[in-house]
Amino acid sequence: MISTHAAAALPTTVRSAATLTDRGDHLLPTAAALRPLLPDGGLRRGTTVGVTGIGMTSLSFALMAEVTTTGGWCAAVGFDALGLLAAAEAGVALERLVLVCDPGAEWPTIVAALLDAFEIVLLRPSTRASGALQRRLAARLR
């Protein structure tokens, strides 16, 4: 789990990209130290959040840790060197993390399928997503 001190060192450039759905007002389990960094104090189902800057991987692991240790599932797409030891040390239950290291040109199809089944989908696309593709993936969250 992440301490308040460690959370303060993580990027403050977490921004809500869009609240996309009425999938429920349910917030995913979020460590108390991270709640002040996130819109609405946590990750809301059907919401996309962009994370940039130094510490983005640590923040992602901290968010996934809380979800996986409470029985949820996470996926990481497009990361050929994610750092599973670091993920485990951050508290991620690796048995509840699915990796798609190199999805190739089919990444939008793969991500669309994962959005239906996973609480958190961490994405590093191999190509820039067009506006139409972004809208299609956003609609998938609804």
Query: Residue 66: what pLDDT?
Result: 95
Instruction: Kindly give the confidence (pLDDT) of every residue in the chain, 142 residues in length, as a single tens digit, with 9 standing for 90 and above.
Output: 566 555 555 554 444 444 433 444 589 999 999 999 888 888 888 788 888 789 989 999 999 999 999 999 999 999 988 999 999 999 999 999 999 999 998 889 999 999 989 999 999 888 888 888 888 888 887 6
Query: Residue 6: what pLDDT?
Result: 56
Query: Residue 70: what pLDDT?
Result: 95
Q: What DSSP string describes the chain?
A: ---HHHHHTS-S--EEEEE---S-SPBPP--TTTGGGSGGGSPBTTEEEE--STTHHHHHHHHHHHHHHTT--EEEES-SS--HHHHHHTT--GGGEEEES--GGGHHHHHHHHHHH-SEEEE--SSPPPHHHHHHHHHHH-
In CATH, the number for domain 4-141 is 3.40.50.300
| Per-domain residue ranges of the chain | 4-141
Reported pTM: 0.76
